[in-house]
Amino acid sequence: MFSPAQGIYDGPMKFIHLTDPHIVAPPQTLLGLDGRKRLGDAVRSINAEHRDAALCMVTGDLTHWAEDGAYAALIEILDDLAMPWHPLIGNHDTRETARAALPALPWSEDGFLHYALTTPAGRFVVLDSVDAGKSGGRLCEARLRWLRGQLTDSLAAKEDVYVFMHHAPFKVGVNGLDRIRLANGDDLAACLRGFSHVRHLFFGHLHRNCHGSWRGLPFSTVKATAHQVALIVDDETPLTASTEDPAYAVCLLEADRVVIHDHAYMEAGKAIPYRRGAPAGEDVPDHQKDWS
């Protein structure tokens, strides 16, 4: 909830972070997994448990091979969301096919899918990190200049900023992912330097839950709705997939905090009553008696 007249929060803004669906055209599957069903299950979970979310951000790799039929399937599934969804493109997408499938998106005149959203929590700045024809990403001078303009304008408007992109701009310790990160993370860091109103960086691409800080800026990503990347922390293993369960993130933004819950939605139905109990034949320990 947000009070425009006062310009302050009276509660958290809730949104969903969903990433890397890697949809393929029916009836194909990918790595033995039905990505369309996994994405559909995510949508059903979001609608059932979090339909009060303001919006859903989808941080890239919308499709795996960028077929027309894959985008059609993706749109059909995501349009069932109870809230608006806002996509980024990733290295598995192509600008040409994505633009043909999603012409209403705010594509720039130079062909990039970068845009800003005004939200109750501040400005969501969406970056296009795709380096056409490559698995890794890159931000060219035009996109960095656009970002700098957004940062300058939002600072003047006294708006907090949350940045969304597909590629991680730094190494995360998984060799297969580090080799396909954003190639010029230093340029992004230089662009962001000095703008203390940037609250958080969200990205996709890793197919893993990963949280931390980079040069003082908090970041997070979440598992894909498609396959995952195996957590092999070394500097030599090639990219290795995993059939671990997918997830999406429930994000709560307030003036003094950013809270992110990763939800493994295919593990639903496992809630049990919490009964504290006591040691056999004894009463509840004194130091726990005030628990409700």
pLDDT at 2: 28
Q: Residue 112 sits in a domain of what CATH number?
A: 3.60.21.10
Tokens of 24: 């393929």
pLDDT value of position 289: 84
Residue 286 falls inside a structural domain: no
Q: Confirm whether 291 is domain-assigned.
A: no
Q: What is the pLDDT of residue 96?
A: 97
Mean pLDDT of 126-145: 98
In a domain, 153, yes or no: yes
* Residue 2 belongs to a domain: no
Which domain, by its residues, includes 109?
A: 12-233+240-268
User: What's the whole-number average pLDDT of the chain?
Assistant: 95
Residue 287 inside a domain? The answer is no
**Does 98 reside within a domain?**
yes
In a domain, 1, yes or no: no
Dihedral sign from CA coordinates of 193, 196, 198, 199: positive
pLDDT digits (tens, 9 = 90+) for 81-110: 999 999 999 999 999 999 999 999 999 999
Structure confidence at residue 291 (pLDDT): 76
Number of structural domains found in the chain:
1
68 lies in a domain?
A: yes
Residue with structure tokens 């043909």? 100
